[in-house]
Structure 1
Amino acid sequence: MIRFKQGRACLGFTLVEMVTVILILGILVVGVSSFVIFGTRIFVESTSIDQVLSQSRFAIERLTRELRGALPNSIRLSTNGTSSQCLEFVPIQASASYTQVPIHPAVKQSSAQVFSASQVISAGEFMTVYPLTAADIYTNPLAPISDGRIFSIDSVSSSAGVTTVDFGRNVRFDEASPRKRYFVVNQPVSYCVFEGGALGGSMYRYTGYGIDNATQPLPSAMGSGVLMAENIVNSLSTDAPFRISPSNLRNNAIVQIQPQFVVNGQNFRYQHQVQVINVP
């Protein structure tokens, strides 16, 4: 009898095994990719929210600090229909007490003696005494008038802690400050929130456009502003981002700041009040 020796079995895999492996790998890839996509989406959304939150906090904090150093009664507010709302004020550059200032009904003089402030007083700035209204500050500070509450400074000299401010002409302030306080200012600042147009949903800061504006100027007349915040969705006609409670004999002026932001379909609003602590 002839016997044939059985050879070794051939190595390999069947079609069923291959299909099974492909199905298992497909399920793993779908699961892993879904996890990666979901994690990436969460990261992108959280980054966007954090960016808007950081930007809004910076804008509110910057505005708050500047308002606390604003000249008394220099805050004014204007709304240009449904296009923009602007909050304007004049930051204080220097302040101290005066010793000798020409005040009505005294004779007009070309200079005043004041105690030196911690900040430097420079020519081209403005000195004001006892400003009671916005008109006292913004109306014709550059005009060659001799009676008023604010005058441009022509030159400054200091000696032994006393500063001599020269106005370049004879002037006279309308009224004395009860605390003999003077302020030195320069350029006003405006924060404008836009609802429509190319700048819609944003907040810009403007300065350097001049203090001699009897009426509050429009953003288009202020030059180029600096972007402070985006994604603002306030309706200027029904939900203004800025409101002012004027000062009286009992309370200082209060500015209410309540911009509303939206990011990834989520809305959040600030309810912030700033007290203007400086008084004439």
Structure 2
Amino acid sequence: MVRLTRRPQPFKLSSQGFTLVEMVTVIIILGILVIGVSSFILLGTRIFVDSTSVDQVLSQSRFAIERMTREIRNALPQSIRVASNGANYQCIEFVPITASASYTQLPISPFTASETASVMLPQVPLSSADQMVVYPLSSADIYEADPSAATGRVFNVKSIAANTITFDQAVQFEEASPQSRYFMIADAVSYCFESDGAIRRYQGYNKFNQDQPGPAVMGNGVLMAENVVNNISSQPPIHFTNATLRNNAVVQLTPLFSVNLQEFQYQHQVQVVNVP
């Protein structure tokens, strides 16, 4: 009888785990991948941040230019004026029209002064807080006016009832409008390009100033846009051509904006209808 016996198998070492060389190799490969991926992420983030900054400046500049355009077009004839102070600021000032229509009866020199005027009402409701203007021929007729005087072209309004405007006292307008037109005006408005690169809008200061005021006098303005890099003394952003008998007044806006080493400049022209 033959007995079979199993010979014991030799002990085998476990092959599980990594060698030091393998671990170092994996670490190096992962490091290369991380550096590559992070560079793409950083580049994409930088592009996004830069494009967002440019888009923000573009949006601000478009809004500021569009707002200025709409308000300047609605300015009272002969009320636009521009002033600069070296490289510190350049401001454009004007008086917005709140309402306009025709009058039917008005106390005009040399006729007798009166406390009332008969007018046609515009679509926009009239306000007794405004002033009434008839036939302004120069900026002095507006900015040097005394609305409380007895004669002139600008007067305070006491009340409005139906088609009748009542003044504080008996008044006498200096001259009739060829179109029998009257205007109602409120506060003056100024847009200033300032040395810190900002465009600010000012309102609520005294509009009857013989000398055009600067930002320091007008109080706190509303920030409209930033990043304007015009050299105000040598490259002013505002050019104004006054009206003539044949041409309307023209305001040329040329602000230069800069963001992330990129520059873009507007060449925007605004015509102001001057039909007093």
TM normalised by structure 2 equals 0.95
Percent identity over the alignment is: 56
* Number of the residue aligned with 2:12: 8
Matches within 5 A, 1:76-225: 76-142=81-147, 144-158=148-162, 163-195=163-195, 200-225=196-221
Deviations, residues 107-144 of structure 1 (Å, cap 9, x unaligned): 111111100111121223111111111111111333x3
**Could you tell me how far apart the structure 2 residues matched to 1:141 and 1:157 are?**
24
Name the SS of the counterpart of 2:176 in structure 1.
coil
Consecutive unaligned residues of structure 2, counting only runs of 5 or more, are 1-5
**Could you tell me how far apart the structure 2 residues matched to 1:12 and 1:122 are?**
89
Name the SS of the counterpart of 2:36 in structure 1.
helix
- Bigger drift between 118-127 and 2-11 goes to 2-11
Among candidates 244, 262, 267, match of residue 266 of structure 1? 262
CA apart distance, 1:227 = 0.3
8 A contact 1:141–1:211 mirrored in 2: no
CA RMSD in angstroms, aligned pairs only: 1.4
* Number of the residue aligned with 1:256: 252
* Number of the residue aligned with 2:225: 229
CA apart distance, 1:3 = 6.4
8 A contact 1:85–1:236 mirrored in 2: yes
**Equivalenced residues, count:** 270
**Could you tell me how far apart the structure 2 residues matched to 1:210 and 1:133 are?**
18
TM normalised by structure 1 equals 0.93
Name the SS of the counterpart of 1:172 in structure 2.
strand
Deviations, residues 183-240 of structure 1 (Å, cap 9, x unaligned): 0001010001101xxxx11010000102211111111111211000001111111110
**Could you tell me how far apart the structure 2 residues matched to 1:257 and 1:141 are?**
32
**Could you tell me how far apart the structure 2 residues matched to 1:18 and 1:194 are?**
62
One-letter amino acid of the counterpart of residue 257, structure 1: L
One-letter amino acid of the counterpart of residue 152, structure 1: N
**Could you tell me how far apart the structure 2 residues matched to 1:94 and 1:278 are?**
15
One-letter amino acid of the counterpart of residue 37, structure 2: V
CA apart distance, 1:273 = 0.4
* Number of the residue aligned with 1:243: 239
Name the SS of the counterpart of 1:170 in structure 2.
strand
**Could you tell me how far apart the structure 1 residues matched to 2:49 and 2:199 are?**
24
One-letter amino acid of the counterpart of residue 194, structure 2: F
**Could you tell me how far apart the structure 2 residues matched to 1:277 and 1:8 are?**
102
Is 1:50 aligned with 2:46? no
Name the SS of the counterpart of 2:49 in structure 1.
helix
8 A contact 1:141–1:152 mirrored in 2: no
8 A contact 2:145–2:153 mirrored in 1: no
**Could you tell me how far apart the structure 1 residues matched to 2:105 and 2:245 are?**
27
**Could you tell me how far apart the structure 2 residues matched to 1:235 and 1:108 are?**
51
**Could you tell me how far apart the structure 2 residues matched to 1:244 and 1:8 are?**
97
Larger radius of gyration: 2
Consecutive unaligned residues of structure 1, counting only runs of 5 or more, are none
One-letter amino acid of the counterpart of residue 237, structure 2: P
Name the SS of the counterpart of 1:221 in structure 2.
helix
**Could you tell me how far apart the structure 1 residues matched to 2:198 and 2:146 are?**
31
